[in-house]
Amino acid sequence: MTEQEAIAAIAGHLDRPVVLVGMMGAGKTYLGKVLARSLGVEFYDSDSLVEERAGASIADIFAKEGETAFRVLEAGAIASLLSEPPAVISTGGGAVTNPETLTAIKDRAYSIWVEASLPDMLERVSRNKRRPLIRDAADPEAVLSGLLAKRQDLYAQADIHVMNRNDDGNRALDDILTGLAKALKIS
């Protein structure tokens, strides 16, 4: 089977959304967009839907209403996206800390943990200042490694685990496609 045939087979068999979970700066949004384009399905980002519904940026929601309020909006956004026809959905890094969201993702989607090394994540998060949990941190590395320690076991519950290295081209995308083909029992 050529790569194109394999991608077409995955797209043809996709009966549930594909949900990317993992830390901020792991590269979920970029990979999700490329994956959605390859499969010919819609791409959604839970952070973008929260911002659209609230009419405010994530940073403003955190500042004005607090993280707990953001988490409620995030859970609602992901629940809505899981009800859409199969698409690729990138979730915010903390989405899996809501037990109902984690269960819904595991039950109703093919879940993918996108992991990246601490230096790669730091490099990516330093490129933009929109993430409230990290942008004002005196020691961003300590914040990221603290969050990862708390969340690792949750991310590890995903169906598929890929490592996304900054210098590894399309490797992570290929690994996602291989994982999906296996999950969909396409040989």
Per CB under 6 A, residues contacting ligand S3P are: 24, 47, 58, 92-94, 131-133
Residue of this chain nearest to ligand S3P (CB atom): 92
To the nearest whole angstrom, how small is the minimum distance from the Cβ of residue 156 to ligand S3P? 16
Least distance CB 143 / ligand S3P (angstroms):
10
Report, in Å, the least distance between residue 136 CB and ligand S3P: 12
Tokens at 177, concatenated: 């496609």
Shorter beta-carbon distance to ligand S3P: residue 74 or 175: 74
* 27 vs 166: CA distance, rounded Å: 9
In the complex, what is the shortest distance from the CB of residue 181 to ligand S3P, in angstroms, rounded to a whole number? 26
Distance CA 128, CA 124 (A): 8
Q: Rounded to an integer, what is the distance from CA 96 to the centroid of its chain? A: 10
Nearer to ligand S3P, 13 or 161 (CB): 161
Comparing CB distances to ligand S3P, the nearer of 7 and 94 is 94
For residue 100, give Cα distances in angstroms to 22, 32, 59, 79: 17, 22, 24, 9
Element housing 67 (H / E): helix 67-82
Residue 32 exposure: Cα atoms within 13 Å on the Cβ side? 26
Nearer to ligand S3P, 7 or 21 (CB): 21
Answer yes or no: are the C-beta atoms of 97 and 70 closer than 8 Å: no
- The nearer residue to ligand S3P, 41 or 147, going by C-beta atoms, is 147
Work out how close the CB of 8 gets to ligand S3P at its nearest, in angstroms, rounded to a whole number.
29
